Chain A
Amino acid sequence: MNSFVEKIKKVDSRDAKLGMAHFYVAFIGLFIGGMAGLLQTLVRSGQFTLPAGIGYYQLLTLHGVVLALVMTTYFIMGFQLVSVSRTAGTLTNKQRNTGWVGFWLMTIGTVMAAVMILLNEASVLYTFYAPLQAHALFYVGLTLVIVGSWVSGSAIIMAYVAWRRKNPGQPSPLLTFMSLVNTLMWIVATIGVATTVLFQLLPWSLGLVERVDVAISRTLFWYFGHPLVYFWLLPAYMAWYVIVPKIIGGKIFSDSLARLSFILFLLFSIPVGFHHQLMEPGIDPAWKFLQVVLTFMVIIPSLMTAFSLFATFETFGRSKGATGLFGWLKKLPWGDARFLIPFIGMLSFIPGGAGGIINASNQMNQVIHNTIWVTGHFHLTVATAVILTFFGISYWLIPHLTGRTLTKAMNKLAILQGVLWAIGMTFMSGAMHFAGLLGAPRRSAYSEYGGAAQAAEWVPYQIAQAVGGSILFIAIILVLYIFINLAFFAPKGEEEFPVGEAANTTEKAPMILENWKLWLGLVVLLIAFAYTIPFIDLIENAPIGSKGYKLW
């Protein structure tokens, strides 16, 4: 290929370094978290006890914090920074340095939180619900992670603004647009968790105030907690909408509809936190139901996404001569890990999404709330759909950034990894779903509950989870092996950063989609609508606050 074109399409090596720094941390996190996950399933099978005085809940805190908060955030920040660099042009020195400041802030914070967890000073799980009280440094660490992510996010915003200024009247490159939407959503959402940590939990853990308002702290947490899951999901959607079509050799079904769905996510993923608090006292059921309705709105862009993806695949297959209703399936490049791994992720999002609709269905939440069903649910969504897509991205992005290539042998290994993940997760998540319907609780070490007959029924499912967990752990070892190969040992070469083109290039995306005053204004209005009155109620009717407890 023409070397001039190649140059434009390659992420600048300085930006690549910034991206790789994020990925190193993410994959170290994957190893630690995966190890913890394996041990959890073993403990829960009843066949294994933890050595060296490690507590189950200490381990579970590590697993949740390292995987759900740290690994995801690093991967996403790294991926978005290099996507912007690839599509909107190399970052300026100022933007790149901002990215580095964000990276180091997050890293200092991560180390602080991790040390506190390892010292058993913070076995409060990744949701750190008051009035369980962790060491103040745990909260400081989490704050630094969030502030760091804001700083990194501002690098993305700066790059977007600079591009728009240089290209007036033009819709921004699709990946840049999507990265920006996710960054904006993240910033608006993290204000909630930052508020409870900085103004409630930190002063309280330092002893500056004696009591904390538990219900308000939880509500602020879940104002953040739901958009958190969309913050994980949207980068996967970026890959599904924009990158996978290019990998298979097809086109993006519709650029405008992809943007529209991202705008809908921005609008509706925040004012919905009550669907995590449906079983809680102190919140009026009418307000819960209102947020349930808003939650259902955020399903619509996922319905659009499903259509777009199938349409991309079908259009591609038919362009290759496929006939019949499903003949196009045969034309897809099943032997290409860059396609297959995200595709398994897409498939897992079908039961994942189905479970999500059930969880959000107001009183139906009583059937599954805080049972192990929920754990099964998000291991399909984040720990399969999202994470497999991230792996699929890594298999071309890491070599792209390090100037190496994905060899045939590594591609094979990657496929094996994806298949093992699918099998392991079917066992683990499937067993979790069924046990959950029987009432088995989540976040619980092995227990026979005094010999209760019901608890005995859960044990076979817990053994199935351990089988699945062991298979998953093998898959994680494979991922790490491939990652190390791609980062340090794979043959030098040029690996493509695939960016798809729209099927219809004459249709320009409507500029209203880039009108941030409008969208952010609507975001604020929706949040105010969904939260103002319930918050006033919580404050006005607040019971006496709670002192801190350290019950581990």
Chain B
Amino acid sequence: MAQPGLEKKTSTKVEDQSSLKGTLASVFLLGFFLIITWVGVFLLFVNRF
């Protein structure tokens, strides 16, 4: 299938080309989500008899 907007571009070059800071931010957001949901249910557990 034709891939819209996927023509090979080789030129564009930016200074932070190899940076993975967005990845780090994303996984940490994921990590905080895991913590928040877990703590939420843990509190339910603690508050119930």
Contact = CB atoms under 8 A, between A and B. Distances in A.
CB atoms of A and B under 8 A apart anywhere in the complex? yes
A406 interface: yes
Contacts of A114: none
Interface stretch (A31-39, A56-64, A169-177, A308-316): A308-316
A333 B12 CA distance: 18
A437 B41 CA distance: 9
Given A249-B3, A249-B6, A306-B30, A314 B23 contact: yes
B42 A364 contact: yes
Contact of A358 (B6, B17, B23, B41): B41
B21 to A, nearest CB: 6
Interface string A187-209: 00000000000000000000000
A306 B8 CA distance: 26
Interface in A269-316: 303, 306-307, 310-311, 313-315
Interface in B7-28: 8-9, 12-14, 16-23, 25-27
Q: What interface size band does chain B fall in?
A: 20 to 34
A372 interface: no
Contact of A411 (B1, B19, B38, B44): B1
B4 A310 contact: no
B1 A338 contact: yes
Contacts of A317: 22
Interface residues of A, number: 50
A310 B26 contact: yes
Contact of B6 (A319, A322, A333, A354): A333
Contacts of B45: 363-364, 366-367
B11 to A, nearest CB: 9
A320 B4 contact: no
Contacts of A329: 22
Contacts of A353: 34
Nearest to A355: B37
Nearest to A356: B34
Contacts of A336: 1, 3-4, 6
B34 to A, nearest CB: 5
Given A358-B41, A361-B38, A314 B30 contact: no
Nearest to B48: A367
A315 B20 contact: yes
Interface in A339-363: 350-351, 353-355, 357-358, 361, 363
B38 A318 contact: no
A314 B20 contact: yes
A5 interface: no
A323 interface: yes
Contacts of B14: 318, 321-323
A403 B13 CA distance: 38
A329 B25 CA distance: 13
A307 B31 CA distance: 11
A405 interface: yes
Contacts of A313: 23
Interface in A412-449: 437
Nearest to B25: A325
A408 B12 CA distance: 28
Q: Which of B8, B14, B18, B22 is the most central at the interface, judged by chain A CB atoms within 10 Å of its CB?
A: B22
Contact of A354 (B9, B33, B48): B33
Q: Which of B18, B20, B21, B33 is the most central at the interface, judged by chain A CB atoms within 10 Å of its CB?
A: B20
A495 interface: yes
A460 interface: no
Nearest to A318: B17
B42 to A, nearest CB: 6
Nearest to B5: A333
A138 interface: no
A318 B42 contact: no
Given A325-B22, A333-B6, A318 B48 contact: no
A396 interface: yes
A249 B41 contact: no
A458 interface: no
B48 A357 contact: no
Contacts of B2: 408
A521 interface: no
Contacts of A249: 3, 6, 8
B18 A315 contact: yes
B37 A311 contact: no
B16 A321 contact: no
When A and B form their complex, which 7 residue pairs have the shortest distance between CB atoms, in order from nearest?
Answer: A321-B12, A310-B23, A354-B37, A406-B1, A310-B26, A311-B23, A314-B22
19 contacts: A306-B27, A307-B27, A310-B23, A311-B20, A314-B23, A314-B26, A319-B12, A319-B17, A322-B14, A325-B22, A325-B25, A326-B22, A357-B34, A358-B41, A361-B41, A367-B41, A367-B44, A367-B45, A406-B1
Given A248-B6, A354-B38, A367-B45, 15 more contacts: A247-B3, A306-B30, A311-B23, A318-B16, A319-B17, A320-B9, A326-B25, A326-B26, A336-B1, A350-B30, A351-B37, A357-B38, A358-B37, A367-B41, A408-B2
